[in-house]
A and B are shown apart, each in its own frame.
Chain A
């Protein structure tokens, strides 16, 4: 007997379909999250969009053509979830215009292919950071951490901590770019 209740279409959810969906979903979580973050700039909002997107993907999984790009499809679904989230918010809370969001979505699609390479480069570049810088950036990106909280825990000024984080992020970006450029040459 299955441990799962049946879906609306009556099929047994322990079927290969569930397994296939789970595998595909696992491959796209990070990418969809990053895509949503580019458009929303806020980690919590991006996570919310990710979860809504997962629900929609499951609901519409029958429409997915096997062999096509699941991640691309998932990001298209995420785009509309981003728009829905924006519509739910009062206009005064929207930092950027719809045109801006659309322009970023277009730009984001151009660099999606490089995400895995950039991630690998980031891993290497994090190791190259001075220990104090690495500690600071990892502290900042703990769940529910904020720059203010990190500054207070380190007994530093918020402004100084913000500047340090920006410097470290820029350092990482430059390192990532140089790593990718070096890999292109070899």
Chain B
């Protein structure tokens, strides 16, 4: 991410906090400094508040029109005082003490409200104005372009990945039948469905989930949202045979995390995972709590938490590299992410050279699920998954950046 991108991202988050009435004094001081120091930040701040204001105004106008419509039938022109009190229902400020002045204002407000209702409900076609040369738009990363010549797409990433010399398994979820969608297009490690909760999973995998763009279909594992279930109730995918992780490996995918309901205790949602026994595991791409990225190779160790939390409802590009040291039985983990929904064009290095205890276990590979310490199916992913690619090399950042740009376009 460029410095400007980081600046605007921070300004956006602080302004959102301000709009929600939760900003602290320190945060306000920080926001003030950022806005005063940068023209772009200042424009973004004003535009953000305008949007907040428009939404607030529309919500209030709808309520006002409903209120006025119900009181119009009982309004009497001779009772100016009752008009003033109805029209000033939303008045929270000081009222002028002279009754006749209040009466005039009340009557005017009633006229104004009626006119505002007319303005709001009638389609207005303002004349097109030339852009104000003094108000150049700020440069928040824009949403990705639709697929087309010269622009990015998931299909372009799929194509690029499929031609990589180190690709060993590729799950694109494309095809006509469910079986086709579960095929490994680079190897022979095809997927099968895995139903949790003792085979009584109450929902189905969705094979027709929308991908990040129209060039792709994704898969959406089923996760039971009941408070007492969730971690061990749902449906995911796993390989039909054992997956043997190479000593240098990259797991690359697109994924969308959906927020878990309150009440599910210690939720874990797995996108890509293995497990051989209680200790020997490979939680390669997993979230804990409400979308915090985590890795785990040793069931008796603590989670390795990335400096990163998924924003619910947003598609992400994510790539994790794993380098095993067989002597020390440790793994060095690096993870890169980019928020596709926000059009982040530069990868964020959210897990940097973390040395973790254990090495990725050899077992069936779970996609959209993992395994409990008893090896039962568990931890269904919350959201959608697409374009899972496994490489037998730790790809470098430049290559991964190229892959990201394949999705977003240059």
Contacts and interface: CB of A to CB of B under 8 A. Distances in A.
Interface of A: 3-5, 7, 13, 18, 21-23, 25-27, 29-30, 33-34, 37-38, 41-44, 46-49, 51-52, 54-55, 58, 95-97, 99-100, 103-104, 107-108, 110-111, 113-120, 122, 130, 132-133, 137-138, 140-143, 145-147, 155-157, 159-160, 162-167, 169-178, 180-181, 183-184
Given A30-B57, A173-B48, A180-B137, 13 more contacts: A49-B93, A51-B93, A52-B94, A54-B105, A55-B105, A111-B132, A114-B135, A116-B124, A118-B47, A157-B290, A166-B16, A174-B143, A177-B142
23 contacts: A22-B108, A26-B116, A34-B50, A34-B57, A37-B52, A38-B46, A54-B109, A58-B104, A99-B36, A104-B45, A107-B43, A113-B132, A114-B132, A118-B50, A138-B59, A141-B59, A147-B20, A156-B259, A163-B312, A169-B48, A169-B51, A173-B48, A180-B131
Leading 4 A-B pairs by shortest Cβ distance: A26-B115, A141-B59, A166-B16, A48-B93
Contacts of B134: 110
Contact of B143 (A41, A169, A171): A171
Contacts of A140: 55
B173 to A, nearest CB: 20
Given A113-B132, A114-B135, A173 B47 contact: yes
A130 B384 CA distance: 15
Nearest to B109: A54
A175 B32 CA distance: 26
B140 A173 contact: yes
A55 B58 CA distance: 23
Contacts of B60: 43, 47, 143
Contacts of B261: 155-156
Contact of B42 (A103, A138, A147, A180): A103
A133 B17 CA distance: 18
Interface of A (DSSP majority class)? helix
Contacts of A38: 46, 49-50, 53
B143 A175 contact: yes
B162 to A, nearest CB: 30
A7 B104 contact: yes
B311 interface: yes
Contacts of B108: 18, 21-22, 25, 54, 58
A104 B42 CA distance: 7
Interface in B23-82: 23, 25, 28, 32, 35-36, 42-43, 45-60, 63, 77-78, 80
Contact of B57 (A33, A159, A171): A33
A120 B104 contact: no
A43 B58 CA distance: 12
